[in-house]
Each structure stands twice: as C-alpha cells, then as structure tokens.
Amino acid sequence: MPKVLSFALILVSLMPVISLSQVERTFAVTIDDLPVVSTRGTLKNRQEITKKLLGHITKAKVPAIGFVNENKLYAGGKADEKQVDLLRMWLTAGLELGNHTYSHRSLNQIDLAEYESDLLKGETITKQLLAEKGRKMRYFRHPFLQTGRTMEIKAEFGRFLNDRGYTIAPISFDNADYIFSRAYDLAFDRGDKALMKKVGDAYVPYMEKKLDYWERQSMRLFGREIAQTLLIHANFINSDHFDDLAAMFKRRGYKFVDLETALKDEAYRLPDTYVGPAGISWLHRWARDKGREFIVPDEPSVPEFVL
C-alpha cells in the first residue's frame, strides 16, 4: 500500500465518530395567546403568571417571541393600561412581540377580508409599544395554525402580509400544551393539588417524547435535524414548568436562538402548500408534499388521564 494512502487511512481511523449529540442543535421558542390564556382570569393572577413565566425565560436566557391577542387588553371598549403593562413586562425583559390577530379567529372559518381586518386591529397597541423601544413588529402567527383552505387565499394573504412587512412564523415542534394547560387550570380551580402535581409531572416527559418525534421527523425528511421552532402558550402550567422544559432542551444539547436565526435554516424556504382543515406542524406539511411515507408514524399522544 502506498505510504500516503496508508497515512490517510490512519488519520481517518483516528477521527472521532460524529454523533447527533455532537451536532449543534438549535431551538426557537415562540409563545402564543399573550398576555395570558388561563381560567385564572383576574388581573392579579395574570400578573403572577406573566412574572413567573418571564422569570424562567430570563433565567434560561431564552430569546423568546410572544404573539399577542389585543382583545385581551381592553375593558369597557378602552385599553386597560394594567393589561397593557403585561406586554411592557415582555419588552422590558428584552423579548420580541408579534401579531396573533385581535380576536384569535381562524382563517379557515371567516372571509379573508374580515381576517385581514382582525389582524390590523390586533397590531394597534403592540406596534406602539414596540415603537417606543425603537423596534418594529415583524412576525405573524396564524391562530390555530390554520393557514387557509385554498392556495389562492394563502397567496393573497401572503401578499397582504408582505406589503405590511410581516413574516409568517412557522413551527416545527407542534404539541398539545394547551390540553395540559386546561387540565392544570381545572385541577387548580377544584383545589386538587395532587392532580395538579400529577399533570405537571407528566408535562415535560410528554414534551420530551414529542421532541424526539420531531427530531426523527426532521431526519426522515432532510437527513438532518433542522433548527426547531416550538409553539407553546402563555399559560399557568408553563409559568410553573418552563424552567423544567428549558432544562430538558439544554440536557438534549439544544442552544436557544431567536426566531430570525432559526428561520435562516434553508428548510424554512420550502413552500407551505397545505390547505387542509387542521393546524399542523410545517414538518408535516412538507412531509405530505413529499409523500405520506415521509410522515413518521406513532406520534406521541397526550396521556389519557390528562385528556
């Protein structure tokens, strides 16, 4: 064997095997239904939930973005400054805010013109708050992840967003945190602390199973793990358990990035052609385009006792 080739083979044999755990994993956290979505609807409770959630986010150094429903900021037809202050808390923490429409209605259920009007109504206060910080509103999140029942509607709405400087905020990591949230709220409302603990203890393990699923779905589609984008909600259970959630992501080797950075992954340049009734992950939208055999089976479900 030639000496040069022999030396090259020795070098290759000494190179470490690169595992998925050694590849940089990145994660953007997006949080819907600001300022708060919970049965704990009093101002005091909303302040407590916001303060605790932001405390966890800040401690974990997560550059999250929150998507606002401005109908929650009004009382008696006028802006309620104490509710608006909840958004100011997000901006004071150095986080970004996006548009989630005024009243959280589905594009699949109302006329496009009505939907666009609801979007514009939903940017009034948030835009002003951002402007006070020298910032602009950049991202839009569809309520229910329902993005239109025809390609014509999707295209027309896309032009509407583009004309107003918005980028759609897609998600790869879909999950049912909202079901856990409802169960957690109901247990709290009933004064059942044991059930609250049971629901809370099941939450992060469920999310880790879902994360493993979306990692595998990414590998099936792209042969690699893309930058993941997570959707959760500004709710009671996350105000109690986001620190545990963040610790799980870090244990699995994830680095938190902002949404802008995550969307630089070339995967997000693929078109969204899904026009079905459900609100589904962009990973599943792309997999459906490629063929149903590219959809990884056995997606983890919510535990029966939570349902």
Nearest residue to 236 via CA among 71, 36, 70, 32: 36
Q: What per-residue confidence (pLDDT) applies to 243?
A: 98
Place of tokens 């300022």: 35
pLDDT < 70 stretches in the chain = 1-23
CA distance 248 to 117: 40
Length of the chain: 307
* SS3 of residue 91 by DSSP: helix
The bridge status of strand 96-99 relative to strand 65-68 is: parallel
Q: How far is CA 178 from CA 54, 182, 183, 203, in A?
A: 18, 6, 9, 11
Q: What per-residue confidence (pLDDT) applies to 24?
A: 85
Residue type, 101: T
Q: What domains lie within the chain, and their CATH numbers?
A: 23-294 (3.20.20.370)
Place of tokens 């209605």: 105
> Beta-carbon neighbour count of residue 103 at 10 Å?
13
pLDDT tens readout for residues 243-276: 999 999 999 999 999 999 999 999 999 999 999 9
Q: What per-residue confidence (pLDDT) applies to 23?
A: 65
End-to-end Cα distance, the chain: 66
Q: What per-residue confidence (pLDDT) applies to 11?
A: 39
> Beta-carbon neighbour count of residue 85 at 10 Å?
15
Q: How far is CA 283 from CA 28, 65, 152, 167, 223, in A?
A: 15, 20, 22, 18, 13
Record the tokens describing residue 237, joined without a space: 């259970």
223 touches 271 (CB < 8 A): no
Q: What per-residue confidence (pLDDT) applies to 162?
A: 98
